[in-house]
Structure 1
């Protein structure tokens, strides 16, 4: 039985991964910066009430991340798997039109939050003698540049470099670092702006057409990720949902497969 901590796990892919780990028999610490999100989510996992806890955590705050580790160890005894999933998006705007508070939020959450989480997990896993750290990639991780998304993309590109570097630094240790690449998913990152309004991309016919071909529901991606995480033995592992081959097949099948995800 593995003990798993997932940041940003009260909704979206984080929550779906938590469900899959619970179904696999793991103990799970869910976390998020808004307790009300957990209140909405907990009804979906009540059957596993003895195998999960919720710890409030804003990954922009190092002490809250440290508390997340400490409370998890206090409950489960150790942490086998730590997933830095929490992320921050921003309005789809050109850089010069983007409010400055989003610049701080994206960098502090997507870059510094992952660095803090990885540091705290790594230093403690080295002490306990085992563990795996997984960081969540996203748009920009593969160097693809899409206008009006460059702030978010920059943060995800930095995350990829950081995680590969961390894996090199951990290469002679019992602790492993790896990346998760979920592709295009139907979550609030796509459908809503950071302020909760309907996202402008939902009115972009070109984007909708591509998304309905390549996009996927988070529960499908979670079912793909979790068994591979649990079975991983490699350093610098990269688990990719939307591979080039899979993308090509989806485009070939698009004329015969009607999808209305977005």
Structure 2
């Protein structure tokens, strides 16, 4: 039985992973910026009462992340797996048009928050003698440049570099670092802008076509990730759902498939 901490885990792929870990018999700490989780989430998690806790955490603040670690250790005794999943998407516009607040939120959440979380988890895991740290990759991690999303892509490119570097720094210890690569997932990152409005991407016919070929639901990706995370013992591992081979096959068979998400 593993003890898991996931940042940004009350919706999307974070919540789906939390649910899958619980189904696998793990103890899970969920977190997000809200002071409490919604009644609908509590209802969904009711079969796992006593196997999870919720800790409010704004990953932009290192003190919040330290509290997340400390509270989880008090509850579970030790932490086996820490997942930096919390993220902030970007308004789809040119980088020079993006205001300062949005720019800072993206960098602080996706990059600084991930670094803070990794620092705290590494310190605690080295002290306890074992553990695994994972961070969520995204557009930009694979060097792809997509205009009007380059602030987000920059943070994910840096995330990949940091996690690969962290893995090197952890060599020779009983703590490992790795990356989770989900590909295209139907979440609020795709469907909504940071202010909660419907994303303009849905008016782009080319995007809709590509998305329907390559994308999956959070539940599908989580079911792939979780057993592999639990089994992985390799440092610097990348657990990737949408591989190049899988993407090529989907394009080849697109005309025969009817599973459309949008």
TMscore range, shorter length: over 0.9
Query: In the alignment, which residue of structure 2 is the partner of 1:168?
Result: 168
Structure 1 ranges of 4+ moved more than 4 A: none
Paired residues in the alignment total 262
Q: Distance in 2 between matches of 1:169 and 1:176?
A: 10
Measured after TM superposition, the shift of residue 37 of structure 1 is 5.0
**1:55 counterpart = 2:58:** no
Q: Is the 8 A contact 1:32 1:38 kept in 2?
A: no
Give the unaligned 5+ runs of structure 1.
Answer: none
SS in 2 for 1:35: coil
SS in 2 for 1:20: helix
Q: Is the 8 A contact 2:37 2:54 kept in 1?
A: no
Query: In the alignment, which residue of structure 2 is the partner of 1:71?
Result: 71
* Cα RMSD after superposing both structures: 0.9
Q: Distance in 2 between matches of 1:35 and 1:165?
A: 34
Query: In the alignment, which residue of structure 1 is the partner of 2:157?
Result: 157
Query: In the alignment, which residue of structure 1 is the partner of 2:200?
Result: 200
Q: Distance in 2 between matches of 1:227 and 1:55?
A: 24
TM-score, with length taken from structure 2: 0.98
Q: Is the 8 A contact 2:36 2:54 kept in 1?
A: no
Closer, same or farther: CA 96–215 of 1 in aligned 2, 3 Å: same
Query: In the alignment, which residue of structure 2 is the partner of 1:136?
Result: 136
Measured after TM superposition, the shift of residue 44 of structure 1 is 1.2
Q: Distance in 2 between matches of 1:84 and 1:42?
A: 22
Query: In the alignment, which residue of structure 2 is the partner of 1:242?
Result: 242
Compare 252-261 and 70-79 and name the one that shifted more: 252-261
Q: How does 1:46-125 map to 2 (within 5 A)?
A: 46-125=46-125
TM-score, with length taken from structure 1: 0.98
